[in-house]
Amino acid sequence: MPIIEVNNLTKTYTTYKRGSGAKDSVKSFFRRERVVVNAVDNISFTVEEGSICGILGPNGAGKSTTIKMLCGALFPTSGGITALHMRPYADRKRYVGEIGAVFGQRSQLIWDIPPIDSFNMNRAIYGISQADYKSRLDELAELFELTEIMHKPTRVLSLGERMKCEFIMAMLHKPKIVFLDEPTIGLDVIAKAKIREFIQKMNAQGTTFILTTHDLEDVKQLAGHVIIINHGVKVFDDTLQKLQLNLGEKKIIELTLEREMDFDASALGARLAGRKSPLELTLEVDMSQTVISDFIEQLSKKTGFSDISVKELPMEEIITRIYSETVS
């Protein structure tokens, strides 16, 4: 059953061009040049209750605008959203009482005092009874294996610890839908894993999650449903399996050769994706065909190299590919 339905959602901004010099600023005082930006352009999708839905896209693609509208913090220019049988922007106060949000870059925690005091403030704001609050807090703290750090001032906590507390703060009132904007940004590998595990556990209890992220790994480990937005337009909306089928298991390998030589990538089962200089190569390897350790072993047998790095396919690349596929 869909918990969120989005129909032809559109958001346009009108901004004004500003000149730089004194002459321009005087001119713009009287007649300003309007610039209309389509941040989100006619997007429709549904999110099933109890799912984890990942929204992907490069910076400025319209992810944040979309999620803000879903949260009720932003009014759509046209089109509609129905979530929890409400229209988020019209029933804002009632609606936000039933959702939770963690915006990675904008903390709810108060800097100079322990998180536990911030939690108690949200208890009052959301009107949670003392008994519910206590049992919920115990449950969440146990899930995150947090106890004493809740009693230390926020400013002395590590980024990972702070993020865990942000999650607790957003989950106290048992929200039915939780929105996460870049929840793992800047965290180390262990903290990321912990956050993901937490999301999975809460999801198993029935909470629906919507997350935007730059980190493909977040999506791979969490999301069953993936939506990709680029330039305000939806370019992909399907299961994770379908996405992986589309892309294959591609990795990008950047290689610096020791000396100039001819290089036959196809002999290694790779594709030469670029050559910045005679010594610097970019290869694309399909991981469904080989294992990374085998590939590097083969590579080192064939050629000497002074540097190597293995990366995921960049988001822009994925989108270009998906985009070209959807067009054709």
Partner 1 sequence: MKLFKRKIDTLIAVAFVTFKEWGAYRTHSMVSIFVGPVYFAAQYYIWTAVYGGSGELNGMKLAEMIRYFGASALIGYLVMDFAAWNLNMLVESGKFLTFALRPLNHRFFAFSQKAGHRLLGFVLEFIPCLILFALLFKVDMRPAYAGWLLLSVVLAFLMNFFVNYCLGMFSFWFVHSGGIRMVYGLFSSVFTGMLIPLVFFPKPLQVIQLFLPFQYTAYVPVMVFLGRYSLGGITLPIPAIVGIQAVAVMTVFVISEIMYRAAMKRFTAVGA
Query: Residue numbers of the site for partner 1 (CB under 8 A)?
Result: 13, 65, 68, 71-75, 89, 92-94, 96-97, 99, 101, 103, 106-108, 110-113, 117-118, 120-127, 153
Find the shortest distance in angstroms from Cβ 94 to partner 1.
Answer: 7
Q: Which is nearer to partner 1, 28 or 246 (CB)?
A: 28
Q: Which is nearer to partner 1, 27 or 94 (CB)?
A: 94
CA nearest neighbour of 42 among 231, 210, 177:
231
Strands 78-83 and 2-17: antiparallel
Find the shortest distance in angstroms from Cβ 256 to partner 1.
Answer: 41
Find the shortest distance in angstroms from Cβ 38 to partner 1.
Answer: 15
58 neighbors 215 (Cβ within 8 angstroms): no
Q: Which is nearer to partner 1, 124 or 327 (CB)?
A: 124
Find the shortest distance in angstroms from Cβ 160 to partner 1.
Answer: 20
Find the shortest distance in angstroms from Cβ 212 to partner 1.
Answer: 14
- Strands (E) in the chain, as ranges, are 2-17, 33-48, 52-56, 78-83, 99-103, 177-181, 208-213, 225-230, 233-239, 250-257, 270-275, 280-286, 305-312
Cα separation, 246 vs 83, whole angstroms: 30
Give the helix, strand, coil percentages of the chain, each rounded to 5: 40, 30, 30
Q: Which is nearer to partner 1, 122 or 230 (CB)?
A: 122
Find the shortest distance in angstroms from Cβ 184 to partner 1.
Answer: 19
Phi-psi bin for 105: left (phi > 0), alpha (psi -120 to 50), beta? Answer: alpha
Q: Is 86 helix (H, G, I), strand (E, B) or coil?
A: strand
Return the biggest CA–CA distance within the chain.
72
Q: Which is nearer to partner 1, 123 or 251 (CB)?
A: 123
In order of 153, 263, 312, the CA distances from 267 in angstroms are 58, 9, 22
Q: Which is nearer to partner 1, 122 or 208 (CB)?
A: 122
